[in-house]
Structure 1
Amino acid sequence: MTTHADPSYVDPTMINPRAVRLVEAFKQALMRLRDEEGLTFDDLKAAADLLQRVQTATGAPLALAAMPLYSELFQGGQDGYTPSDDVESPTYFPGSQRMDNPGILPMREDEPGTPLIASGRILDGHGQPLAGAKLEIYHAADNGNYSGLYDDGVPKGNLRGHLFTDADGRYAFTTISPVAYVDPVTAAVEGVAEAAAAIGRSSYRPAHIHYEVHHPDLIRPWRGEVYFTGDPVIPVDFVGPNIAQPVLQADSVLHDDPADIAAHGFDGPYRTAEFDFILKTRTSPETATVKKRPA
């Protein structure tokens, strides 16, 4: 049985004023691009077609496939002090293994790559330590793959873990040095590399470590990525160079002295990187200066 209703009727209780404003603002932005930059319907269709091919190849939700278009706006820890808008990384998985502090990030016995000792402190805007802060840590392997994303035989918890800061807000852990990587499935999609090159970007992401900081004094958890100073991929980052702000870059130092290497129990050269998280809490000032470590 067919139910007849007034096709012009819209339930006023269903109208969301914010959604109305956002859609109208988005259309206005597209009109400005049309009038000022020559945006065409074919441009939009080409972008949508490429995103659809990526979604089909990776199996990721279409919204996730489109992340390179908006990640710079909402992800990356912003200025490193105030929290980002909490765009959860598609490479994150809950339930990581707890480590000692200092500790070793869970990894395979034969994990390839150059060892890295990462350390630093977690401080509030007054420079006071956040003791007992939970620090979630994860990053890609030496081949650029994140554990748990693909059925590649790598344990799901590989290079994933968490620890708690000590009374001075300090943390330290040993892992392997991340490298620049390209997602192999996405890179194989016809048109992806060409689209990246057309806007002056590489298909690669710069080396980085993902962190989440949880503490009762934080307004909300801090989520972001810490990069490495001097990485040549940062200016041409696939998801945008602005995501790796200078305040989110750690200096990495190579150690190749044989005696030093032996003292740390490594078989070859290793790296160290120090990074202090200075994060806004409920009692922190509105702004804080991120101080560089003394040379």
Structure 2
Amino acid sequence: MTTTTTTDPAYVDPALINPRAVRLVNAFKDFLARMRDEEGLTYQDFSVAADLLQRAQQNTGAPLAMIFGPLYSEVFVDDRDGYTPAAGVDAFTVIHDTPHIGNPGTLPMRPDEPGTPLFASGRVLDGHGRPIQGAKLEIFHAADNGNYSGLYDDGVPKYNLRGHLFTDAEGRYAFTTVTPSSYADPHVTAVDGVAEACAALGRSLYRPAHIHYEVHHPDLITPWAGEIYFKGDPVIPVDFVGGTKAPPSLQADTVLHEDPKDIAAAGLQGPYRTTEFDFVLKTRTSPDTIALKETAA
């Protein structure tokens, strides 16, 4: 005997309904409706953008959510509470289980790694301006040609310009690397229509130079992840992913050293740069908001 089970097609299990998800979807639809009425948004506009992003995803192999980053990533960089703002968007260029480089240390690099040497340092502090000892800093950045190691089969060692260290008793960190350059991802820019879309938005095809960090410590409310940029970089205002992606609170001072005495003292053969940046991060005992001047070390 065959038993037939009939399911009511109008039934939705109330226990599975997520009120927050319902609110967010409705708010997004309301936003699109306002864009339609106030800015003339059409379904064709939406489709063209989605198609371009889909082709970029296919060309890079990056998660689609990351490819959408240029449209929304700026929204989630929020420094209103006074702490160092996180990126708000995961970087698909990250690779975990990197080598321990010591503190001070040197990022792994090829013997002929192109670029100007860079000595980076700073502190990791809590909301009271106190040092966070033993914080793990995952550090990585693109090579001089803009490529990140370990993502493509290009012959570059997997952990090139990638490593991690732990802060000392004063919350300090220090490492040597090469100065990052602005770059345009060739896998993205090769997609038909990307250059025209950037020009239409008043953006460059390039991203400003930056170093990626992740900061982990048991006392942090959440791990910190984001990029630190360099003051005065002319690409920042026309950044591929948006001109407010690198607010002043994420821009580090950098100094070029060209004096022969300084170069000799550093044990180098040519000019080098130094940069300093202090992370001010919220721990379980930190206040909800701070004034930046209160965290000066």
TM-score category by the smaller chain? over 0.9
Paired residue for 1:111?
A: 113
Structure 1 partner of 2:200: 198
3-state secondary structure, aligned to 2:41: coil
Q: Which runs of 5+ in 1 are unaligned?
A: none
Instruction: Tell me which of 145, 163, 166 is aligned to 1:164.
Output: 166
Q: Residue 85 and residue 174 in structure 1: after superposition, are their counterparts in 2 closer, same or farther (change >3 A)?
A: closer
Q: What is the CA-CA distance between 1:35 and the residue it aligns to?
A: 0.5
Cα shift readout 1:241-270 (whole Å, capped 9, x = no counterpart): 222110111111000111211221212100
Instruction: Tell me, yes or no, if structure 1 residue 141 matches structure 2 residue 133.
Output: no
* 1:16 CA drift (Å): 2.1
Q: Displacement of 1:32 after TM fit?
A: 0.3
Q: Is the deviation greater in 3-12 or in 247-256? A: 3-12
Q: Provide Cα deviations, 1:171-191, integer angstroms capped at 9, x if missing partner.
A: 111000001011101000010
Match of residue 44 from structure 1: 46
1:64-75 correspondence to structure 2 within 5 Å: 64-74=66-76
The alpha-carbon distance between structure 1 residues 137 and 154, as it changes in their structure 2 partners (threshold 3 A), is same
Tell me the amino acid that sits aligned with residue 50 of structure 1.
Answer: L
Which residue does 1:269 correspond to in 2? Answer: 271
Does 2:282 match 1:280? Answer: yes
What amino acid maps onto 1:18 in structure 2? R
Question: How big is the shift at 1:84?
Answer: 3.4
Q: Which residue of 2 aligns with 1:7?
A: 9
Please tell me the root mean square deviation across aligned C-alpha atoms, in Å: 2.2
Aligned equivalent of 1:229, options 228, 231, 239: 231
* One-letter identity of the residue aligned with 1:19: A
| Alignment coverage as a number of residue pairs | 294
Per-residue deviation at 1:166?
A: 1.0
**Counterpart contact for 1:80–1:248, Cα < 8 Å:** no
CA offsets, 1:122-158, max 9 Å, x none?
1112111111111111100000011011110001111
Q: For the residues of structure 1 that align with 2:19 and 2:112, how far apart are their CA atoms?
A: 56
Give the letter aligned to residue 57 of structure 1: N
Contact 1:139-1:210 within 8 A present in 2 as well: yes
Distance 1:226 1:292, change over 3 A: farther
d(CA) in 2 for partners of 1:251 and 1:104? 20
* DSSP 3-state at the match of 1:13: helix
Partners in 1 of 2:41 and 2:127 — Cα distance?
44
Q: Is the 8 A contact 1:79 1:247 kept in 2?
A: no
Asked if 1:100 corresponds to 2:115, the answer is: no
* Separation of aligned partners in 2, 1:84 and 1:176: 23
Normalising by the residue count of structure 1, what TM-score does the alignment of the two structures yield?
0.93
Normalised to the residue count of structure 2, the TM-score between the two structures is 0.93
In the aligned structure 2, how far is the partner of 1:25 from the partner of 1:122?
38
Distance 1:83 1:44, change over 3 A: same
Give unpaired runs (5+ residues) of structure 2: none
What is the CA-CA distance between 1:23 and the residue it aligns to? 1.1
Cα deviation 1:84-109 (Å, max 9, x = unaligned): 37532111111011011111111111
CA 1:101 to 1:235, structure 2 compared with 1: closer, same or farther past 3 Å?
same
Compute the displacement of 1:22 (Å).
1.2
SS at match of 1:98: coil
Is 1:58 the counterpart of 2:53 in the alignment?
Answer: no
Aligned residue for 1:227, secondary structure, equals: strand
